[in-house]
């Protein structure tokens, strides 16, 4: 028999539940929009600030267990909805058209798997229900055309001035690799690269997007600094591997974003652990815990510890990254969890309020 409890008591317990991705209570997140008695138990409508596709079962089970632990094992029907809003960018920049949030994926050095993380992040968000675009900003070594299976394809220019992005696996994509021969080296100086990227970003018909992921060039030089200053970024993700040399460069990347007032959403430790495909033995080839130490040092989140797996490389090279090629695999689960943590970290940031401010015009009389 269902125990008799009041809606107020149930609401108080649910308000105290701390979502593991947000890291704060539903009350603090103002997530519970409605709670009412049902034929059996209660129905609650919850709105979270990140994509919720694939989260319903886990979230509902966690709320039911939370109620039961508080002595209220009542039937609970959960209506879970996303509310993805635009978040504040650098003070001197304005949001990019209908793009709600620009998220930069960066690294202090090359070879850490930044592009693989970026494409799987974008695809995971799309799979979780968001509208997503991906800009390949690595002019010298564009890899997203290959990873998205778009090699050799060209974007159209319907009005002769703007480019229509290509589509792959449910996301929109733009890259300099779509506009030049795959084997042609980009022998450009910094100003030319910056101009090209600014045009790719501003002259692409992105349409309405919840997230635009920018796969940044590796390093912290003039190109990266100029991009960080010119592009309205809501948050940055730093990709590193566990070894000290990679962490040292990742720290430089983090500090670069700090200098230009771009908030760092967190650290992704790539190639964290290798699992042998033959015997299943796990080994920390590049060391262990480096990303967690760096996250603690700078007071940011550890967004994920991603595996070193030959399948990830094979899937990306084949044009079907892991979250598309093997969505039910353990390696894909690591990407999906990383994507949800990243979106939740962004959801905690201040909203963009510029659209609600009246325009003030001063005229001489």
Domain identity same for 76 and 109? no
User: Is 277 inside a domain boundary?
Assistant: yes
Higher pLDDT, 224 or 68: 68
Query: pTM score, two decimals?
Result: 0.91
Domain identity same for 196 and 74? no
User: Is 240 inside a domain boundary?
Assistant: yes
Domain identity same for 280 and 179? yes
- Judged by phi (left if over 0) then psi (alpha if -120 to 50, else beta), residue 225 lies in alpha
Higher pLDDT, 7 or 350: 7
pLDDT given at position 123: 98
How confident is the model over 39-63, as pLDDT tens digits? 889 999 999 999 999 999 999 999 9
How confident is the model over 320-360, as pLDDT tens digits? 999 999 999 999 999 999 999 999 999 999 775 554 444 44
Domain identity same for 34 and 131? no
Q: What is the mean pLDDT of the chain?
A: 88
343 CB-near residues (< 8 Å, 6+ apart): 21, 49, 50, 51, 84, 125, 128, 130, 211
Domain identity same for 69 and 208? no
Looking at the structure of the chain, the number of domains it has is 2
83 contacts 48 by C-beta, under 8 angstroms? yes
pLDDT given at position 60: 97
C-alpha span between 296 and 287 (Å, rounded)? 17
- Most confident of the following: 95-99, 123-127, 228-232: 123-127
Domain identity same for 106 and 246? yes
CATH assignment of the domain containing 39: 3.30.300.130
CATH assignment of the domain containing 236: 3.40.50.300
pLDDT given at position 190: 66
pLDDT given at position 354: 54
pLDDT given at position 256: 86
Report the run of H or E that residue 233 belongs to, with start and end: none
pLDDT given at position 1: 47
Domain identity same for 117 and 73? no
Higher pLDDT, 119 or 202: 119
User: Is 146 inside a domain boundary?
Assistant: yes
pLDDT given at position 286: 66
User: Is 279 inside a domain boundary?
Assistant: yes
Residue 35 — very low, low, confident or very high, per pLDDT cuts 50/70/90?
very high
Domain identity same for 57 and 132? no
pLDDT at 220 over 80: no
pLDDT given at position 351: 75
From start to end of 5-57, where are the E strands? 32-37, 42-48
C-alpha span between 30 and 15 (Å, rounded)? 9
Residue 167 is part of which domain span?
102-347
How confident is the model over 192-211, as pLDDT tens digits? 777 878 888 889 999 999 99
User: Is 28 inside a domain boundary?
Assistant: yes
Domain identity same for 250 and 284? yes
The pLDDT of 65-92, averaged and rounded, is 94
User: Is 36 inside a domain boundary?
Assistant: yes
Domain boundary among 53, 82, 111: 82
Domain identity same for 59 and 166? no
How confident is the model over 227-274, as pLDDT tens digits? 777 889 999 999 998 887 788 888 888 888 888 888 999 999 998 877
Domain identity same for 174 and 273? yes
Domain identity same for 179 and 208? yes
336 contacts 128 by C-beta, under 8 angstroms? yes
Domain boundary among 35, 50, 82: 82
User: Is 359 inside a domain boundary?
Assistant: no
pLDDT at 364 over 60: no
pLDDT given at position 291: 84
Buried b (16+ CB within 10 A) or exposed e, 164-181: bbbebbebbbbbbbbeee
Radius of gyration of the chain (CA): 22
User: Two tokens at 98?
Assistant: 């209908």
pLDDT given at position 360: 44
How confident is the model over 307-317, as pLDDT tens digits? 988 899 999 99
User: Is 172 inside a domain boundary?
Assistant: yes
């Amino acid at each position: 028999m269902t125990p008799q409890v009041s809606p107020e008591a149930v609401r108080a317990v649910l308000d105290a539940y701390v979502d593991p991705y947000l890291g704060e209570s539903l009350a603090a997140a103002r997530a519970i929009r409605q709670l009412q008695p049902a034929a059996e138990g209660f129905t609650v409508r919850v709105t979270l600030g990140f994509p919720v596709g694939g989260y319903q079962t886990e979230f509902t089970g966690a709320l039911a267990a939370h109620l039961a632990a508080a002595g209220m094992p009542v039937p609970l029907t959960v209506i879970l909805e996303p509310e993805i809003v635009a978040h504040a960018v650098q003070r001197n920049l304005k949001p990019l058209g209908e793009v709600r949030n620009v998220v930069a994926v960066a690294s202090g050095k090359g070879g850490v798997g930044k592009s693989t993380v970026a494409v799987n992040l974008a695809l995971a968000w799309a799979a979780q229900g968001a509208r997503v675009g991906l800009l390949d900003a690595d002019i010298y070594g564009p890899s997203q055309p290959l990873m998205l299976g778009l090699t050799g394809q060209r974007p159209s220019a319907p009005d002769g001035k703007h480019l229509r992005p290509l589509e792959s696996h449910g996301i929109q994509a733009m890259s300099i690799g779509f506009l030049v021969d795959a084997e042609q080296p980009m022998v450009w100086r910094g100003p030319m690269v910056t101009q090209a990227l600014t045009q790719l970003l501003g002259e692409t018909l992105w349409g309405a997007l919840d997230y635009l992921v920018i796969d940044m060039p590796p390093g912290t030089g003039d190109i990266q600094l100029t991009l960080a200053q010119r592009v309205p970024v809501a948050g940055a993700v730093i990709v590193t591997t566990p070894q000290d040399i990679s962490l040292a460069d990742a720290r430089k990347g983090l500090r670069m974003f700090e200098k230009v007032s771009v908030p760092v959403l967190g650290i992704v430790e790539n190639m964290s652990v290798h699992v042998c495909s033959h015997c299943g033995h796990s080994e920390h080839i590049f060391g262990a815990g480096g990303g967690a130490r760096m996250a603690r040092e700078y007071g940011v989140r550890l967004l994920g510890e991603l595996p070193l797996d030959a399948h990830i490389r094979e899937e990306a090279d084949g044009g079907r990254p892991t979250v598309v090629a093997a969505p039910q695999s353990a390696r894909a689960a690591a990407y999906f969890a990383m994507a949800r943590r990243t979106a939740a970290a962004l959801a905690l940031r201040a909203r963009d309020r510029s659209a609600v401010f009246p325009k003030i015009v001063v005229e001489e009389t």
